[in-house]
Structure 1
Amino acid sequence: MTNERILIVEDDQDIRELTTLYLGKKGYEVFPADNGFDAINIVKRESPHLILLDIVLPGMKGFEICEKVRELTQAPILFISSKRDSVDKIKGLEVGGDDYITKPFDFAELEARVRANLRRSLISSDQKEKKKLSYGHLTIDLESYEIKVNDQPIRLYAKELQLLLLLVNNPNQVFSAEQLYDQIWGIDSYGELKTVLVHISKLRRKIEVNPSRPKLIKTVRGFGYKFSPPE
């Protein structure tokens, strides 16, 4: 049994109640909300470990809620939507989401995604053995998880940070997009390649001096990506 706290933000009463009931029986403490205002208050009050967030909601939409929630927590956010358009999936990742599941969904698949994202939401203890990593203009504090570029703090979302740490802890090792997805997200999903590409692109924009000519996160054409420490 588990005791992680999950917030579900869904205006469809049947889906909200059935999902709350199902996850509750699996041992999760579930907090339901049907609008953005209540969702943000629950995040402030309960500090959930994971958030299930519908995109189409009355008033404040899911993408806007995600951006506001990201100012409060780095807990994984799984978008729920009836749309299967990859544009929405990419938009969800860009505003700070971690995963995406479409309606109607199978509860067993939903729980698998919940477990995978919870498992990967915490940086492994072996990555904390060093206090700080420094790569030229890039500094990573492994106690506070503060990332600095040229001594200026930058903001990384949870999956961006996990991806960066995986790469820097395995310098010069080439990872395929599929391997990165498996390591960070942990389950098969439609559009997984785009998920990796979006996060690599966002990381480069944040940590590279010249994102169009990356020196840290390099593409190995035909194989994948690697972190190349400055000489």
Structure 2
Amino acid sequence: MRRRFRVLAIDDQPDVLRMLEVILGSEGFEVVTAQDALSGLRMAYQMHPDVVLLDVVMPDVDGFEVCRRLREMTDVPIIFVTARGTIEDVVRGFSLGADDYVVKPFDRSELVSRLFACLRRASEREDRQQEVLFPAASVMLDCGRHELVIGHRTVYLTPKEFEVLRLLIQHAGRVLSPDAILTRVWGPERIGEPDLVKQYIYRLRRKIEPDPKSPRYIRTVRGSGYYFEAEDLL
């Protein structure tokens, strides 16, 4: 029996949501809906859907901002389903981390095909990324679950926290500037925002350091950047 995937559809138009419920329900999906961005974000955090369908134009927060916030905490496949179909909108959607972009009005079979393709790619990616080990013998990063294991302790990380930490561990002992971290994790368009990196370093230290005020693993070199100290772990 095929697993029943859960789809979260976020759109401020009730008729669109009803149509998606009918189309996807007939294909075996469980469909949950939200008519505004903030409700959609709350449901995404609580319900852990397998895929999110997202409109751009909404009254409170637009879909681009929703996509950005989702990408801060999850790798769930995101498909924009929207009437906003200019090349600028499509490029912006993909640059924020969307997996696909479907313009309304859409063909039913095309939407379903794209949805299954997103789920298939996500499954293949997760299979490839399970259990990634790094040279520090007692440190393991599980890319599928976004977990860090230090010795016998397991720490859950958001996707961006995970990417920052993985980058630091991959370059253990080497100082990385805030701009280098921004470029690798968020993209070159975020260069010049050192406070964003500082915020994530703070969050990582609170999660993994025995004493965040006196960091053992993630060290700061004032005026230069940050590095991961692996000596104590070897």
When normalised by structure 2's length, the TM-score is: 0.58
Q: Residues of 2 paired with 1:39 and 1:143: CA distance? A: 24
Contact 1:5 1:28 in 2 (8 A): yes
Please give the secondary structure, in 1, of the residue aligned with 2:73. coil
Q: What is residue 149 of structure 1 aligned with on the other side? A: 167
Larger Rg: 2
Q: What is residue 19 of structure 1 aligned with on the other side? A: 20
Please give the secondary structure, in 2, of the residue aligned with 1:101. strand
Unaligned runs of 5+ in 2: 147-161, 172-181, 189-234
Q: What is the identity, as a one-letter code, of the residue corresponding to 1:89? A: V
1:125 and 2:143 correspond = no
**Structure 1 moving runs of 4+ over 4 Å:** 139-147
Could you list the per-position Cα deviations for residues 7-52 of structure 1 after superposition, in whole angstroms to 9, with x for gaps in the alignment? 0011122111011111011111101111011101211221100000
1:91 and 2:69 correspond = no
Q: What is residue 52 of structure 1 aligned with on the other side? A: 53
Could you list the per-position Cα deviations for residues 83-141 of structure 1 after superposition, in whole angstroms to 9, with x for gaps in the alignment? 2211111111122211100010011100001000011112253554x63367xxxx985
Describe the shift of the 1:132–1:78 C-alpha distance in structure 2 as closer, same or farther (beyond 3 A).
Answer: same
Contact 1:2 1:28 in 2 (8 A): no
1:42 and 2:20 correspond = no
Aligned runs of 1:165-184 on 2, under 5 Å? none
Could you list the per-position Cα deviations for residues 26-85 of structure 1 after superposition, in whole angstroms to 9, with x for gaps in the alignment? 111101111011101211221100000000111110011111222332100001121221
Contact 2:129 2:144 in 1 (8 A): no
RMSD: 2.9
How far apart are residue 143 of structure 1 and its match? 5.7
Identify which of structures 1 and 2 has the higher relative contact order when contacts are C-alpha pairs closer than 8 Å and 6+ apart. 1
Please give the secondary structure, in 2, of the residue aligned with 1:104. coil
Q: What is the identity, as a one-letter code, of the residue corresponding to 1:151? A: I
Please give the secondary structure, in 2, of the residue aligned with 1:121. helix
Contact 1:66 1:95 in 2 (8 A): yes
Please give the secondary structure, in 2, of the residue aligned with 1:74. coil
Q: What is residue 79 of structure 1 aligned with on the other side? A: 80
Q: Residues of 1 paired with 2:70 and 2:143: CA distance? A: 23
Q: What is the identity, as a one-letter code, of the residue corresponding to 2:169? A: D
Could you list the per-position Cα deviations for residues 162-201 of structure 1 after superposition, in whole angstroms to 9, with x for gaps in the alignment? xxxxxxxxxxxxxxxxxxxxxxxxxxxxxxxxxxxxxxxx
Please give the secondary structure, in 1, of the residue aligned with 2:38. helix
Q: Residues of 2 paired with 1:143 and 1:75: CA distance? A: 11
Q: What is residue 206 of structure 1 aligned with on the other side? A: 184
